[in-house]
A = this chain, B = another copy of it.
Amino acid sequence: MPTIKKTKKKINAAILIIGNEILSGRTQDANVLFISNWLNVNCGISVQEVRIIPDIEKKIIYNVLDLSKKFNYVFTTGGIGPTHDDITSLSVSRAFKAKYKFNNEAYEILKKYYGVKNFNNGRKKMAKMPAGASLIYNPSSAAPGFKISNVFCLPGVPSILKSMVNNLKTFLIEGLVTISSTFNLKTVESNIAYDLENLQNKFLKKVDIGSYPSFKLGKVSVAVVLRSQNEKQLKSCEKKLIKIIKAKKIKLFKNN
């Protein structure tokens, strides 16, 4: 197992989803949920912004550079396959003014995987990336992702992406993990809005309190989610929330 560097600072990230199929409403994105959870639980990295953009070079370049400046890490998904609409590697090369060329190691990995006879131009294209990029190995379908500067380029297919994330760890500095606690209340938001606001004011910048209403099968409920990087503060906030719930005689559903 690779050792991971740790810090007691907050480390943040952005996700850039590149793909017309998500924007057009053809495909339900599944990568944001997975990457956000994985980064927080495994690396203490908190995703602070997501953008979904089309397969257009100018837009990829603009957003990669913009997010790269604003956040510690950027994770892109999509556009590193063999077809004409896969333009992430080329665009990221241009963003960082790096040559777009064959990576020798990626070329050998793919040649071995497909066999010399079947190593056609589409497949070779997947070995092209910015000069100087580091590979992110792909245990399920060989074609690697890559890292350049603080930007990590991953595939769009969720099952392949999931198989690769453990190979990201060597590149990342681990920050503070956000822990959370969820209370599912049998009530409506406006019944507890005043108390939650007071509670939030008591724990300003220490615990983040979210309130999420749900209306399923005619049943109303509110999930109150406490999130913090400090366990002691979280426990203290939990206690105060339980007091409120009891005082208001609100019933709890089984927790998430």
Interface residues of A (CB under 8 A from B): 17, 20-30, 32-37, 40, 46-55, 59, 81-85, 120-123, 125, 140-141, 157, 159-160, 178, 180, 189-194, 196-197, 200, 208-215, 225, 227
Residue picked from A37, A49, A83, A120, most chain B C-beta under 10 Å: A83
Residues of B within 8 A of A196 (CB): 83-84
Q: How far is the CB of A247 from chain B (nearest CB, A)?
A: 16
Residues of B within 8 A of A81 (CB): 189, 211, 213
A210 and B21 contact, CB distance less than 8 A: yes
Please give 15 more A-B residue pairs, beta carbons under 8 A apart, in addition to A49-B54, A50-B52: A20-B210, A21-B210, A22-B50, A24-B47, A25-B40, A27-B212, A29-B29, A49-B51, A49-B53, A50-B50, A51-B52, A84-B200, A84-B211, A120-B190, A122-B191
Partner of A190, one of B51, B122, B209: B122
Residues of B within 8 A of A33 (CB): 25, 27-29
Residues of B within 8 A of A159 (CB): 215
Q: How far is the CA of A47 from the CA of B210 in the complex (A)?
A: 28
Q: How far is the CA of A84 from the CA of B200 in the complex (A)?
A: 8
B25 and A211 contact, CB distance less than 8 A: no
Residue picked from A141, A190, A211, A227, most chain B C-beta under 10 Å: A190
Main SS class of interface, A: mixed
Residues of B within 8 A of A210 (CB): 20-21, 55, 85
Q: How far is the CB of A20 from chain B (nearest CB, A)?
A: 5
Residues of B within 8 A of A46 (CB): 24
Q: How far is the CB of A189 from chain B (nearest CB, A)?
A: 5
B37 and A23 contact, CB distance less than 8 A: no
Residues of B within 8 A of A212 (CB): 21, 27
A85 and B211 contact, CB distance less than 8 A: yes
B50 and A193 contact, CB distance less than 8 A: no
- Listed from nearest, the 10 A-B pairs whose CB atoms lie closest are A25-B36, A122-B193, A122-B190, A25-B37, A84-B197, A50-B52, A83-B211, A82-B190, A82-B193, A83-B193
A36 and B24 contact, CB distance less than 8 A: yes
